[in-house]
Every structure is written in structure tokens, then in C-alpha cells.
Chain A
Amino acid sequence: MLASRVMIGKRCAIQEEPAFFRSFVFRLALSLMGGREAAEDLTQEVLLRLHRHRDKFLDAGDQYAWVRRVTVRCGLNQLKRRKATEPLSESLTDPARHSEDLAVRELLEKLSPDHRVILGLAIGRGLSYAEIADALGIPEGTVASRLNAAKQAFRKEWER
């Protein structure tokens, strides 16, 4: 059996190896978590889950959407588990980073996990309302209102 079955001319091919989605998951995890270290942890967790649930992974109609749902769910859980008193990660304390990035990151850390995730999906990854609704398992109307609330919360922190 071939390692992967690729339909020539189509972007969405059926992939049998979860590792194929490593970069896709990592980019998404970066937007959700905001730091490389946390993103790599999340990527590992997601890839392990894909291996464990390989049958579901192979049967998924849209594998990208399925992987995105798993990544968002795991990322949300990790953010909720993380305590507010946890020290800042290496990417935030790195003096070489852009000063504005540090300010933005600090503000994001103050937001709720739900707000951080929806900002990461909408602004970080540029996903549509429909894609976000699918990833979070909520209606599109809820996506709009939650995104609006997240933007308001970020603005409020910014102006403080």
C-alpha cells in the first residue's frame, strides 16, 4: 500500500500519515498558544491523538477540518489548564523580540482562553466564520458575538 494517496490536481488529498499535518498543526498551534515552545507541545499532543484515532482520521471527509478541530480542542484545554501565575515562556522574555509583540502577548495572556483562541483563529489564521464555527463546534452567530467580545476585551486591555 502506498504511504499516501494523492489525487493529482486537487489540494485536498487523502493522507494516511498524520505526520503530514505536522506543519499545518504547528502553524495553527502558534496562533492559539502564542509561543513556539507551547506550540510544539500542542503539536506533539495532537499528532499523538491522530495516531491513536487513526481510523477516524482516515475516515474523516475533510481531514484538514478534522485535524483543525482536534488541534483547537486540545489547545483550548491546554490554555484552560494553564494557571495565570505561570511564568512567561521564552518567546515572551526574549529581548530580541519586537517590543510591540511583547505588549500584545502580555495583553493576550490576560484574556480568557475562549477569547484568545477565537482571536488566533480569526486574526492569526484568517479563518472564516464557518471554519471557526466548525473548529469550535458552535453556531456561526456565536462565533460573531464571541469574536466581537474578544476584540472588545483586547481593546479594553490595550487602552488601559
Chain B
Amino acid sequence: MKRSDPMDALHAYYMRLDHESPAAAPFAPEGGGRRREIFARTATVLAPVLAAAFAYGLLALCAATPTSGPSPLPSGVYENQLRMAGLDMRSVTPPEHHPTLLPIPTRNS
């Protein structure tokens, strides 16, 4: 049964088409994007907090790392530097032994 006004019928057709067809995705700009907005706002708030926590953790890790210990230079670098400076390994006096490595003096009985 046709309506008298074709424009009314056309308008009703588009209205029903829009109503009867479910959205293809949950993120509609007219209200459906609400969840995404909430997610984005939460992320905006949390991002600097997480970044600060990461930076703090990184600093704490650096502070805990021992600075003493074996030289990070690979073996041979020291000798190469000496050679470039015109020095010979044999002319360089070896570094003093660490006191704890010295032999413990024994008392002669």
C-alpha cells in the first residue's frame, strides 16, 4: 500500500533502513565512541605516571650498578694505547698488587 506523498515514503524508508540495520562496529561517532574516549582519557592520565615510574626504575637500576670492578675495555686496548703513545709494556711498571692479594706475612718462630 503506497502513501500519498512519495517523499514521506522515501524518508520512512531511510529511517527504517537505518534503524533495522545494526551498526557494523561498536565505535560510532554518535555515542558509540564513548568507550574509546574513556580509554583515551585514561591512557592520557596513566601515560605520564607510567613514564615517570619507568624513569625512576631506570635511575634506581643505574645507581645500584657497581662502578668498580674489571675494566670494560676489551683486552689489548690498554696495550694498544701504550703502543700508540710510544711506550713499551715492559717499560711500564706494573700496578701495585691489591693489598688483599699480598701474601700474609708469617711470623718466624
A123 and B12 CA atoms in complex are apart in Å by 10
Task: Decide if A50 is an interface residue (CB 8 Å cutoff).
Answer: no
Contact among A4, A11, A39, A104 with B21 in the assembled complex (CB-CB below 8 Å): A39
10 pairs, CB–CB < 8 Å, chain A vs chain B? A20-B29, A23-B25, A23-B28, A23-B29, A26-B23, A64-B29, A100-B12, A104-B10, A105-B13, A158-B2
Task: Decide if A43 is an interface residue (CB 8 Å cutoff).
Answer: yes
Interface size class of A (residues with CB under 8 A): 35 or more
A7-32 contacts to B (CB < 8 Å): 8, 11, 13, 19-24, 26-27, 30-31
Task: Decide if A119 is an interface residue (CB 8 Å cutoff).
Answer: yes
Chain B contact residues, majority secondary structure: helix
Most buried by B among A3, A27, A119: A27
Chain A contact residues, majority secondary structure: helix
B44: A residues at CB distance < 8 A: 2, 6
Task: Decide if B7 is an interface residue (CB 8 Å cutoff).
Answer: yes
Q: Tell whether, in the assembled complex, residue B9 and residue A158 are in contact, meaning their CB atoms are under 8 Å apart.
A: yes
If A3-B40, A20-B36, A31-B17 touch, whether A43 touches B24 (CB-CB below 8 Å) is: yes
Contact among B6, B7, B24, B40 with A40 in the assembled complex (CB-CB below 8 Å): B24
Q: Tell whether, in the assembled complex, residue A21 and residue B29 are in contact, meaning their CB atoms are under 8 Å apart.
A: yes
Interface size class of B (residues with CB under 8 A): 20 to 34
A43 and B2 CA atoms in complex are apart in Å by 32
B2: A residues at CB distance < 8 A: 100, 103, 158
Most buried by A among B14, B18, B47: B14
| A-B Cβ contacts below 8 A, count | 93
* Additional pairs, 14, CB under 8 Å, beyond known A20-B27, A119-B10, A123-B10: A11-B29, A13-B37, A19-B27, A26-B24, A31-B18, A100-B9, A100-B13, A101-B13, A103-B9, A104-B13, A124-B17, A154-B6, A158-B9, A159-B6
- The 4 A-B residue pairs with the shortest CB-CB distance in the complex, in nearest-first order: A23-B28, A22-B25, A158-B6, A26-B24
Q: How far is the CB of A26 from chain B (nearest CB, A)?
A: 4
B39: A residues at CB distance < 8 A: 3
Task: Decide if B33 is an interface residue (CB 8 Å cutoff).
Answer: yes
Task: Decide if B98 is an interface residue (CB 8 Å cutoff).
Answer: no
A104 and B17 CA atoms in complex are apart in Å by 11
